[in-house]
Chain A
Amino acid sequence: MLFNSAAFLFVFLPATWVGFRLVVRFAGGRAAAGLLSLASLVYYGWWDWHEDGYYLPLLLASLLINYVVARAMLVARRSTRKAWLVAGIVWNLGLLGYFKYAHFFLENAAALTGTSFVIGTIVLPLGISFYTFQLIAFLVDIARGRVASINPLDYTLFVLFFPQLIAGPIVHHTEFIPQLRARTFGTVTARGFAIGLAVFSAGLFQKCVIADTIAPIAETGFGLAAAGTNLRFQEAWVALAAYSMQLLNDFAGYSHMAIGLALMFGLRLPINFMAPYTAGNIIDFWRRWHITLSAFLRDYVYIPLGGNRHRHLTNVFLTMLLAGLWHGAGWTFILWGAWHGAAVCINHAWRRRHSAAVAPATPRLWARATTVLTVVLGWTLFRSPDLETARSFAASLAGLNGITVPVSLTTWVESLAPFVRPRGLFPAITATPTMLIVLVLAVFFAFRGPRLLAFFGVTSRDVVAGESGIGSELAPASSRLAWGRFVVAGLMLALAIATLARTSPFLYYQF
């Protein structure tokens, strides 16, 4: 069930919310946690029902096995605890490895050895990359002695809670389980509900109105490049800009919807996006983009590798390489990770050289431009289905495949053929006036717009702000709700509902 579907918006969500409130009132918070877990299973099982999938049994198996391992670790002696941890991690990574990377590794092994391995189609279970990381973090923290006890209901809801189950944010158990144990669990304030609804509406708007409107520009651009068409210079740049905005609004939109939904149930989730394209440098970008993945990789990969104590830049690079591989099994993703790894390393080296411990409060224009350009160029690798497409697309970006201009300029450009041709601005890609208007507005708001969460009055009491310092970009704790902004949210919801007919899945479902 998609957040942007009528079934979710008009049936599942109202029914779950009303049920939750009734159970809280008449049966208490524990029963309500049980109801939320059950509702989450229904939500997740919807795909099995519609697509003959095996997602739900797999999720339940993973839930159960990790629970058994976690219990065993809690009662085990120190010496055997590590063995249980290794077993748990092997299970989780094995699952991920089989479903996500088996084809990739076998293909490359076959290419290297000149042999052939044939395995059938493997469908990637939804959300596996997200819940696997949550469970690994949970097991590692038990091994570190940071978890004293496990309540099966809390543990189940921590993994299954439907707003974050499929595409994050990657929730850390210390951020979520204590909320379930608090006496306030089940309390939904009018303020929290109103903010949750507004943030959810804004996220839905980002997905349905912005991301899905401009998606055809990106899809035709990269699709044509993959099919062998040489895109013209301006087409490639517009397609890349469209993808940059589509990805941001699709994924940040999902994260905002998750945060809003959680607030409607009186729960707080971590912030996952904070105006990433306004970052002043690439390190800052990763503090703002998919924040919970960055936090996971920092705590469970980068620091265990040695952090900044020794081989700092190597650790940074390897961590980013892994971030690339997490997004997908392919050389394009690995190269994308390497691209960002190199950029972050250069950023660290620059800081050392200039003795700048932190970025200036207001980054200079050139710093922001360089950062955005680095990120946006990186999306070429991220979006291309293979290296040949990435190469062709990069050639178009560099202008090597020529330029087209409006046919009204035909007489002016005759002498420049074949480099310049009068075929219209966008002869191949799909780019209607509305799409281009939405793209321009999306770019404007990505760079100059207000912080979305702060705009709707979200304070650090409403979300988990983490340690990255971005909590300062939320609304001040003393802020009051402004009705004008809720008019905006209401219009966003109305427009989003009016575009539901073209329902499309979220981009991060494929990761």
Chain B
Amino acid sequence: MRPLPILAVFLATALAGIGAVSLALEEGRLPPAAFDHYAYVMERKLAAQVARGNAVILEGNVSEPALRWKIAERIGSAPELAVFGSSHSLRIGAEALGRPSVLNFSVSGAALVDHLVISEILESRGLRPANHLVFLDPWIFDIGAEFGSWRERPDDARRIEARLADSMNPAPEQIFSDILEQHSRRQSVERFSIEPLVARLDGWVNEVARTTYIAVPGETSATLLLADGSFRPPPDQTVVRPEAVRALAVRQFATNTDRHRYGTYPNMDQNLWRYFEAWVRENARDGGAVWLVLSPYHPEIYGRITALPENRLREIEARTREMFVGVPGVNVIGSYDPEVAGVEAADFYDGDHLLDSGLRKLLAPLVGP
């Protein structure tokens, strides 16, 4: 075949291909709901089990934010106590707190806005928990420390931002709405993309191929998602040697001094502080209680962390205590300082995560010894 007709065939095929993708993406042919159904399939299935009161085997690679959104969308009644936090609080459930009605909404590395979005889903369903246990991770006041999952819930983020802003005088500057605005502007530039179709295909495979497995705690070596939303690791994974933990803590600190969890926050935002304060006060209204928990660092590294020039751990702790002193219903417990928190090196399994023994000591003011 001669080159010019071949060129024509090539260009016609390329244009037809681009046209086909455009058609598939066109609004109306594949409406957003078609994509939503295939987004976070496994998270939806796990959440359905939790809402039914079942414990299930937890696979790796589950999106924790999406899992929490789906749980908040599916539960039938408000829990008496909701836990908001990060990996520091993933394992805290009804048993550890000695209460029958607990739901854990912790998300590893969660930013303040992640908590707010989940809180808003519950609020919009009229399911505001009576009491809140909030692990106050020091990075939540750094706007640069958020991973962006919440942007998939723009309406929830905008709603809670507006409501909290209304409760303050003067109102703080918009943060989340501005980020969403920038994000949507970027998305419109990148509108022609096969990604939604790929995501749909992935979702369809997950829908067909993956299922959940109900488990009985204590009868399996798998990691579990319990009916109270907490994660339960295999029993043998919680057996650690203090000396190895100390070495791990030092290594984590030495190789990750710039990590947010170690307290260096160039972008600590005053507006985030205000939204945080308003959220806590809102939850403490109408007789509700809010416990703010400061989770300690390993004794081997706490001193090194706070010696870093730009470290803000002490500042955050002092400011938190000062902010809520005398506020009815708000209690601050624990400390980033392990000595103040009353925990020892043997209570940790790495540089900043507590074993069950440490969590018991930390939560003693709430649960009792």
Contacts and interface: CB of A to CB of B under 8 A. Distances in A.
Nearest to B223: A423
B138 to A, nearest CB: 20
Contact of A410 (B202, B222, B252): B222
B308 interface: no
A422 B59 CA distance: 8
Interface stretch (B15-23, B117-125, B129-137): B15-23
A494 B6 contact: no
B201 A434 contact: yes
A499 interface: yes
B3 A493 contact: no
B23 to A, nearest CB: 12
A490 B12 contact: yes
Nearest to B24: A498
Contacts of A191: 3
B244 to A, nearest CB: 13
Nearest to B197: A498
Nearest to B256: A227
B159 to A, nearest CB: 28
Given A414-B220, A432-B202, A495-B194, A408 B213 contact: yes
A491 B234 contact: no
A113 B147 CA distance: 41
Given A481-B3, A494-B17, A498-B18, A410 B61 contact: no
Interface centre among A482, A486, A495 (most CB of B within 10 A): A486
A176 interface: no
B14 A491 contact: yes
A404 interface: yes
B1 interface: yes
B14 A421 contact: no
Nearest to B252: A228
B123 to A, nearest CB: 32
B6 A481 contact: yes
B348 to A, nearest CB: 15
Contacts of A404: 60
Interface residues of B, number: 49
Interface residues of A, number: 47
Interface in B217-263: 220-223, 234, 236-237, 248, 251-252, 255
A430 B206 CA distance: 14
B34 to A, nearest CB: 17
Interface string A393-428: 000000000001001101000100110011110111
A194 B202 contact: no
A480 interface: yes
A198 interface: yes
Contact of A482 (B1, B195, B209): B1
Contacts of A201: 10, 14
B236 A486 contact: no
Contacts of A499: 193-195
B190 A501 contact: yes
B236 A490 contact: no
Nearest to B194: A498
A490 B10 contact: yes
A407 B202 contact: no
Contact of B10 (A194, A424, A426, A497): A194
Contacts of B12: 490
B263 to A, nearest CB: 18
Interface string B341-369: 00000000000000000000000000000
Contacts of B209: 433
Interface centre among B17, B18, B58, B220 (most CB of A within 10 A): B17
Contact of A483 (B1, B61, B195, B211): B1
B59 A424 contact: yes
B221 A421 contact: yes
B10 A421 contact: no
B198 interface: yes
B7 A193 contact: yes
Contacts of A498: 17-18, 21, 192-194
Contacts of B16: 490, 494
B86 to A, nearest CB: 16
Nearest to A195: B3
Contacts of B255: 228
A152 B303 CA distance: 63
Contacts of B213: 407-408, 410
B205 interface: yes
Interface string A199-212: 00100000000000
B222 to A, nearest CB: 5
A417 B6 contact: no
B220 A486 contact: no
B6 A424 contact: no
Contacts of A494: 13-18, 20-21
B236 A430 contact: no
Contacts of B251: 228
B11 interface: yes
A433 B209 CA distance: 10
B215 interface: yes
Contacts of B57: 407, 410, 422
A486 B13 contact: yes
Contact of B3 (A190, A434, A497): A190
Given A410-B213, A494-B18, A417 B221 contact: yes
A410 B220 contact: yes
B157 to A, nearest CB: 23
B60 A426 contact: yes
A495 B1 contact: no
Contacts of B206: 433
A418 B14 contact: no
B39 to A, nearest CB: 12
B33 interface: no
Interface in B280-313: none
A67 B18 CA distance: 46
17 contacts: A193-B7, A228-B248, A407-B57, A407-B222, A410-B215, A417-B234, A423-B222, A431-B61, A433-B209, A434-B198, A480-B1, A481-B3, A482-B1, A486-B10, A494-B16, A497-B192, A499-B195
Listed from nearest, the 9 A-B pairs whose CB atoms lie closest are A427-B60, A494-B17, A490-B13, A190-B3, A424-B59, A501-B190, A501-B193, A417-B221, A498-B194
Interface of A: 189-191, 193-194, 197-198, 201, 228, 404, 407-408, 410, 414, 417-418, 421-424, 426-434, 480-483, 486-487, 489-491, 493-495, 497-502
Given A197-B7, A433-B206, A490-B16, 8 more contacts: A414-B221, A418-B237, A482-B1, A490-B10, A490-B13, A491-B17, A499-B195, A501-B192
